[in-house]
Structure 1
Amino acid sequence: MTSEQPEVVSARLAEVEHAVLARTPEHHVDPSLDAIRALMDLMGEPQRAFPVVHITGTNGKTSTSRMIERLLRELGLRTGRFTSPHLTDIRERIAFDGEPISPERFVAAWDDVAPYLEIIDARAREAGEPLINYFQVLTAMAFSAFADAPVDVAVVEVGLGGTWDSTNVADGQVAVITPIGIDHERLLGSTVEQIATEKAGIIKPGAVAVLGTQKREAAEVLLHRAGEVGADVVVEGQQIGLLSREVAVGGQLVSVRGIGGDYEDLFLPLHGEHQAHNLVTAIAAVEAFVGGGTDRLDPEVVRVAVADMTSPGRMEVVRRSPTVVVDAAHNPAGAQVLAAAVDEAFSFRRLVGVVAVLSDKDPEGILAALEPVLDEVVVTRTSSSRAMNPDDLGEVAVEVFGEDRVHVVGRLPDALARAVDLAEQDGDLGVGVLATGSVTMAADVRTLLGVR
């Protein structure tokens, strides 16, 4: 298959996407690595062909993954990056040197995995066990593609948790844990300690664990795991940290203490204090990976990489006049961080929210976190089959905002238009719309407004 055959490539790509999407949904989790390990064994363990930086946490995983990858790339390394979920195209999840995998490579990765997948599926049917799901298949495809390239390093974000996540068949030389909070309670547990225990599973013997700012309960679990397996530990607020930060046009100016030294006056073109803290852990992770944390990175290399960092769907301005901001915040902790970042980065005279939440999330917690920064809210639904019914979400919103500030609109395009009208009702200067509540919300609004 070559680039001279675009029709063939397009047809095959559609076939492969259909085959992958037809698998059991990724949020249907089997708490076992047996099937994915068996698949990897049949394929010759491609995940062992390259070193890995492994990332988990509750919020900030994708942004931190992208930061780490950008730094490694600026150091001259050929990178693979596996993140989830995607915004508009499934191929975004598997990236080479910062760019989504090509259609040809995506199809080739499926062709590498498919024969072995049939064997594992047959075994599962015979044993009456669950078939490998959508996310596990994509994990196998990513590892196969990275080994085939080959890459110098893969930056791998967990899909859910850590211990039982399919990415955990790889052993990260560096394990990064962003702040841990309450999310995915049905699958990970209802306390910070339980969730931290699941996420601690990515810390492997001999690795370096880089811990972002953690609640005490989470930190204790993570440090205990590191001690058990003999991993070195780097903790934000101790060896590493944020030295200074000030808001700047288009982002922020930050100074960071890494493991090997300080990096001053870095322009980070992302909004919010949380992104500055993500950068702290990203720099430390790269220091740990390339030199065990003993040496300072070239400050100019860091400066160039940081100035080029992006995080689509995270505090992203997707339209002007009025300003429309999308953010993938999907739990109360993420919504709290978003509200603080909006308040700091923008000086809106009037801000209207467009919010849709998945049915297994905490709508009251999300809406309560957003209420202080929103003048009114339009609740709706996204394209996700898991989206909460707008009428039900509206009832929750009324409890938080009061009836006069809540509008229920069933279709997202209409909801976005309604929010724009509400924002501009007293003029269009200094007004904005914030679309949030789920990754799907960020993706759908980006698509509606033609953002690629």
Structure 2
Amino acid sequence: MIKTYQDALNFIHGRTKFKKIPTLKRMQRFLAELGNPQQGQHYIHVTGTNGKGSTVAMLRSMLLASGLTVGSFTSPFITRFNERIEYNGQQISDDDLIRLTQRLEPVVAKLDAELPSGGPTEFEIDTALLFCYMAEKKPDVVLLEVGIGGLYDSTNVIIPDVSVITTVGWDHMKYLGNTLAAIAGQKAGIIKNKVPVVIGRLPTSARQVITQTAADKQAPLYAFGTDFRSQKVNGHGLYAKVQYDGLEIHHGEFQLGLAGDYQVANAAIALTAAQLFLRIHQLPLDQAAFRQGLATSQWPGRMEVVNDDPLVLLDGAHNLPGIQALVKTIKGDLFDRDVYLLVAILADKQYKLMLGELASLGNVHLTVTNFAGPGPRRPSANLGTVARQLNSRYPIQVVKNWQVGFQQVAHQLNSDDVMIVTGSLYFISDVRHLFEN
């Protein structure tokens, strides 16, 4: 029986994470048993190897500033599960989460008994909670972030107003495939007939797959660099000011509230998707609202400033493309400062390549460490072995306990130095608790 908030979380997290055969049939059956709460809403569906969460955060801020009511679904959470499901920027309450989980429990039990492969997975329950909550709230738009991939992701049971593919890179190859074209094929699964799709800067092989899918489905395609553009116009500022051109906006300048050069492309994607949504619904475009929204966007764990002097940032770069984006930011905006990195990475990631990218920077002092990971099946990698094989300007420090590592790095900082904690969103979540009041 689910009576408390902790009971609800135990029920959700106690479910299996993955099934052997990917399918949407189980999710569709689950939602049918619940009365199809996903129907009757307007969605912007967002996938991508990196940039999904930041793009959703910027869309949420812009559309709220434009006067719309906005629901959102994101993952993973950084501090509390409730972050995943929001309405108008407010997390779902504990009481609502308990109540909706109680509603789902007997349906899950029924499907466990009736389906040969068992009932819903953890993420399918997360997604069903979102759909049930939004059916009650009835926002103007729901920003729906894909969990993994797209084609067989449990969110892919809707027809959105706009589809978004931010980036395609190496991650989750166990589930999505071993080539960028294969990974792109999974992400292209969210493209629907005649529904406009916005894409970021993609590798050639990935772009070809997505372009072909869009053509086959007669989905209008809006591509970064072709149909819309953005560039940074404030040099080496950590918070970019961008000039954007696309659709109804010409030479628009926008200050970003999210740090990091990789947000320049994410902001352009968000601006394009927001304009398309407003156009579809014949709603007025208010550039001042967009400016306000982008300037005040917040997204925990993505180049998040948790201390000003010295500057301490948390960046959940958890895969190779994410680390490469971080490297670009360090080279572009922090090149004239000593950067102290505390790094822990899950063992199922490309941790050798990720660490190699960071070690190549001349102004970086690396400390590698361990953390508990999200569960026994996903431990953190032993980075000490890799560290001994890498060439770096400064010796790489290996500290087994991350709390000790954090203290050691913090004590080395001068006021001009920068500390960045990175390598895993789960690791960031652990470290972030140090900065909560």
**By the TM > 0.5 criterion, same fold?**
yes
Q: Counterpart in 2 of 1:161?
A: 149
1:364 Cα offset (Å): 1.2
What are the equivalent positions in structure 2 for 1:298-447 lying under 5 Å apart?
298-346=286-334, 349-373=337-361, 375-384=364-373, 385=375, 388=379, 392-401=382-391, 405-421=395-411, 423-424=412-413, 428-447=414-433
1:397 Cα offset (Å): 2.0
Alignment gaps of 5+ in structure 1: 1-8
CA deviation profile, 1:309-348 (whole Å, cap 9, x unmatched): 1121011121244322110101111101111113333356
Q: Counterpart in 2 of 1:32?
A: 23
Say which SS state the counterpart of residue 338 (structure 1) adopts. helix
The one-letter code sitting in structure 1 at the alignment partner of 2:420 is: L
**1:68 maps onto 2:59 in alignment:** yes
More off after superposition, 182-191 vs 346-355: 346-355
The TM-score with structure 2 as length reference comes to 0.93
Aligned length in residues: 433
Contact 1:287-1:293 at 8 Å conserved across structures: no
Distance in 2 (alpha carbons) for counterparts of 1:402 and 1:280: 35
Alignment gaps of 5+ in structure 2: none
**1:170 maps onto 2:158 in alignment:** yes
Q: Counterpart in 2 of 1:122?
A: 113
Give the superposed CA RMSD: 2.2
Contact 2:108-2:119 at 8 Å conserved across structures: no
What are the equivalent positions in structure 2 for 1:178-257 lying under 5 Å apart?
178-247=166-235, 251-257=239-245
Contact 2:372-2:380 at 8 Å conserved across structures: no
Distance in 2 (alpha carbons) for counterparts of 1:370 and 1:30: 37
The structure whose residues are more often helix, as a share, is: 1
Distance in 2 (alpha carbons) for counterparts of 1:387 and 1:394: 18
Contact 2:27-2:124 at 8 Å conserved across structures: yes
Say which SS state the counterpart of residue 254 (structure 2) adopts. strand
Distance in 2 (alpha carbons) for counterparts of 1:295 and 1:80: 18
1:208 Cα offset (Å): 0.6
The TM-score with structure 1 as length reference comes to 0.90
Contact 1:177-1:210 at 8 Å conserved across structures: yes
**1:93 maps onto 2:84 in alignment:** yes
Counterparts in 2 of 1:243 and 1:262: CA distance versus 1, 3 Å: farther
The one-letter code sitting in structure 1 at the alignment partner of 2:37 is: P
Distance in 2 (alpha carbons) for counterparts of 1:271 and 1:311: 10
1:188 Cα offset (Å): 0.5
Contact 2:181-2:206 at 8 Å conserved across structures: yes
Say which SS state the counterpart of residue 282 (structure 1) adopts. helix
Distance in 2 (alpha carbons) for counterparts of 1:73 and 1:418: 42
Distance in 2 (alpha carbons) for counterparts of 1:235 and 1:114: 42
Distance in 1 (alpha carbons) for counterparts of 2:16 and 2:213: 31
More off after superposition, 140-149 vs 338-347: 338-347
